[in-house]
Amino acid sequence: MQQRYVGNSGFRVSTLSLGTMSWAEETDEQDARELLHTFIAASGTMIDTAASYAGGRAEALLGSMLGDVVARSEVVLSTKAGVSTSDGRRSVDASRGSMLSALDASLARLGTDYVDIWFAHAWDGNVPLEETLSALDLALRSGRARYVGISNYNGWQTAKLRRSRDSPWWPTNPNTRSCTGSPKTNWCLPSRTPASASWRGAPRPRSAQRQIPRTDSVRITGG
């Protein structure tokens, strides 16, 4: 499986991501292990999950396999916060306190002290956009997330984020279209602040820049 650098960053991912939305529900532990083995054997690296998947049990199942099926250092972990389900009803809370509490709980379930990319799982019309973005910024600055992004934002919501002059967050390429062909997409967002303050990781060598193609959006399986 090929690898891609995302936008102008040093963030490198496999061209396909392994989604875990059905884990701990339709997909039991044995099947999940087989899926992960097959994915890693095919040189896949990016694994996507979320705090809301199976009420957090998908993250816990994935966390139980890190260090067993595959080393934590060999995969790119992405998770999301801001969505929960109770009694079959979906609710969104992208407030700073809720988002950061969910991130800490995700890290505990995954058994790691950081995720490679952390997404705001959905737009929250009841919370100021700047508050949601401040949670993403704090996750970056505290080292709990190496990169951050938005998920399931539709066109006008993403446009509002781009027009927010008070926000330091912008899509990697403002002209990028969704690689999923869907009106909703996941964006990996860089900061306008200096690279040392927003991106964590060593610079890639020139040889790697020539050999590994780039992409301006990341396809994430699951919802």
Active-site positions read: 53
Q: Report the C-alpha gap between 161 and 139 in whole angstroms.
A: 18
Three-state SS at 102: helix
Backbone angles phi, psi at 63, to 5 degrees: -60, -35
* Six-digit token string for 44: 């896949």
* Six-digit token string for 153: 């934002």
N- to C-terminal Cα distance for the chain? 23
Q: Most distant CA pair in the chain: distance in Å? A: 52
Q: Are 44 and 36 in contact (CB under 8 A)?
A: no
Three-state SS at 135: helix
